[in-house]
Amino acid sequence: MKKSVLQQARATYQPKLPVALTGCVKVVEGEPTQSVADQEEIKALFPNTYGLPVIKFEKDAVSRQYEPFNVGVILSGGQAPGGHNVISGLFDGIKKINSECRLYGFLMGPGGFVNHDYMELTAEIIDDYRNTGGFDIIGSGRTKLENKEQFDKGLEILRKLNIKALVIIGGDDSNTNAAVLAEYYKKIDAGVQVIGCPKTIDGDLKNEVIETSFGFDTATKVYSELVGNIQRDCNSAKKYWHFIKLMGRSASHIALECALQTQPNICIVSEEVEAKRMTLNDVVDYIAGIVAARAAKGNNFGTVLIPEGLIEFIPAMKSLIAQLNDELSDKKKSQFDGIAREDLRAAIAKVLTPENAATYNSLPEKVALQLSLDRDPHGNVQVSLIETEKLLSELVDRRLAEMKKAGKYDGKFSAQHHFFGYEGRCADPSNFDADYCYALGFNAASLVNAGLTGYMSSVRNLTAEAAQWTAGGIPITMMMNMEVRNGENKPVIQKALVELDGAPFLHFAKNREEWAMNTCYMYPGPIQYFGPSAVCDQPSKTLALEQSK
Ligand code: FBP
């Protein structure tokens, strides 16, 4: 594989490990655990893996010999920087336990496990991918591992390859499925362990016991560099308002972290919009108000950060989308047969409730049509396709025109639009993610060696130096509660949304007025891999604020 100069230099980086993982590992069992809610239901669904203790690893004074074993690994869902280091850490971890251990990678996500597509990951292959971004070493996919047929089919290949444990690197859904698989294999006495690793740039797989998901740190550093660059351009030309949408399917952690790093004029936080029951008009008024106030001071420029998931957090939009999904479902959509495209919007508006019709009618033509026509394979409106950054700037433009007429605004408004998402998902991991991911993988090897199943690899105390990080395992059932998904009550890992009483949001809320009116832009610059620790090894602001007591 041909490598860039930076890649060649980066390949020699040796990720740091917590002291606990640097020798032979002693397993320390904590107290039995409970799920975060719905204890009786979760216990009944996971009779074999519920209530397990938290595991902490300590460095053992004595060294021991262990039998060799084989491990399988799957990358599941969206890419996140550091996945290759989880795999290289896992490889080094099992080889350290016994050099005869072998690692198999299932190709293109859980689908490769079910379809028996795999490759052995040798030292030569692993060395090519150390400290690199992407999931291309074995590929990833979004097949959901959720039924018995898939579990049984997977077991055939695990048996054939004599695999003792499967490590699933994924987000909240994939780890939920890892717990279900662990329970099933335990129930049928398959003799296969299942271990999860917390991945997602979205940052929404975190809780009391998992401090952050990997990839969030790097992705937000990449986006913050880009936002900073835009802000410098914006402050140089002083003629554009930049509307910047940031990835994150649901929670606003990415947008909030970028705001903390770059101090934009406006950042919308979906969780706040929902909590305050704001309408789309309220959001537009809020932005237009700041645009007008800045214009009054001669500043016809600025930046607005918008989380990708915003639309679904606006109660009125949520209700409109739910009704559109129903009225345009396979069962009912024939009511619009034969209606010309130009008349469709009016016809749809007629069947909506007055509130939903008002929201629908207030939308720009393009967005209303997108909501009416585009459907995903399940027949639902494709909310992620809505260009929220354009929707908001168009509505703000309209509102400013009204304000101008009323003599409440006298400025110029010219908008630019951006969407940052895929740009950050495969960046070379920051030192933080390179170290964290390597430690998560290395730690997973010890969880396997300890014979554990249904655990998530856990590395904590992450704002301290890597040597002081703690390592161990958390029973996945401990993070679960019951939620309605696709109309069914299911056990799932709780998704972490932005907490409005949490330190990161409070810090933002305390400063946002000042950032709105005065131009306080920060320019974080590109991720640094070499140089002083203060420049290279900083964790995210979210993590630092959450942990500053
Ligand atoms: P995961 O939750 O699987 O990590 O993926 C998160 C994410 O990157 C979201 O931020 C984004 O909305 C989505 O994936 C995009 O998915 P796709 O890669 O299928 O386009």
Evaluated on CA atoms 467, 469, 475, 481, the torsion sign reads: negative
17 located within any domain: no
Nearest CA to ligand 1 atom 5: 78
Give the chain's domain count.
2
Identified catalytic residue from 172, 173, 202, 435: 202
Q: Kindly report, residue by residue over 433-481, the tens digit of the pLDDT.
A: 999 999 999 999 999 999 999 999 999 999 999 999 999 999 999 999 9
pLDDT at 385: 81
Atom number, ligand 1, closest to the C-alpha of residue 204: 2
48 within domain boundaries: yes
Q: What is the DSSP letter of 141?
A: B
Tell how far the Cα of 255 is from the centroid of ligand 1, in angstroms: 15
Q: What is the CATH number of the domain that holds 181?
A: 3.40.50.450
Considering the domain architecture, whether residues 332 and 452 belong to the same structural domain is answered as: no
What confidence score (pLDDT) does residue 377 get? 65
Q: Do 247 and 355 sit in the same domain of this protein?
A: yes
Strand partners, 492: 481
From 200, 376, 386, the mutation candidate for ligand 1 (largest count of ligand atoms within 8 A of CB) is 200
Look up 410 and say whether it is catalytic: no
| Residue 114 lies inside a defined structural domain of this protein | yes
Instruction: Enumerate residues 6+ apart whose C-beta is below 8 A from 331.
Output: none
According to the model, what pLDDT value does residue 549 have? 57
Pairing mode, strands 102-106 and 118-120: antiparallel
399 and 181 Cβ atoms separated by less than 8 Å: no
Q: Are residues 199 and 292 located together in one domain of the fold?
A: no
In this prediction, residue 42 carries a pLDDT of: 97
Ligand 1 pocket: which of 142, 223, 249 to mutate (most atoms within 8 A of CB) = 249
Q: Which atom of ligand 1 is nearest to the CA of 200?
A: 4
C-alpha span between 434 and 456 (Å, rounded):
18
CA of 77 to the centre of ligand 1 (A): 7
Residue ranges in the chain modelled with pLDDT below 70: 374, 376-379, 486, 549
Q: Ligand 1 centre and the CA of 79: distance in Å?
A: 7
Nearest to 456 by CA among 480, 433, 432: 480
If asked whether residues 197 and 236 sit together in one domain, one would say no
Backbone φ and ψ of 475, nearest 5°: -60, 130
Which residue carries 């662990």 as its tokens? Answer: 182
Residue span of the structural domain in which 119 resides: 26-215+429-493
Query: Domain containing 358 — which CATH number?
Result: 3.40.50.460
Report d(CA 268, CA 258) in Å as an integer: 11
Asked whether residue 3 is domain-assigned, the answer is: no
Residues 404 and 440 in one domain: no
User: Based on the domain organization, do 75 and 100 belong to the same domain?
Assistant: yes
Question: Residue 117 has what pLDDT?
Answer: 98
121 plus 252 within the same structural domain: no
The answer as to whether 2 is a domain residue is no
At 2 the pLDDT is 85
| Domain annotation covers residue 20 | no
* Beta-bridge partner residues of 481: 492
pLDDT score at 322 = 87
Q: What are the structure tokens assigned to 163, written together? A: 């695999």
193-198 and 163-170 as β-strands: parallel, antiparallel, unpaired? Answer: parallel
Nearest to 245 by CA among 293, 427, 230, 200: 230
Whether 108 and 51 map to the same domain: the answer is yes
Residue 105 located in a structural domain: yes
Q: Are residues 355 and 449 in the same domain?
A: no
Residues with CB under 6 Å of ligand 1 are 77-78, 80, 171, 200-202, 247-249, 308, 384, 425
Q: Are residues 448 and 400 part of one domain?
A: no
pLDDT for res 51: 97
The candidate with the shortest Cα–Cα distance to 173, out of 211, 135, 145, 141, is: 145
What token pair was written down for 15?
Answer: 């990720």
Same structural domain, 208 and 270? no
Rounded to the nearest angstrom, the distance between the alpha carbon of 490 and the centre of ligand 1 is 22
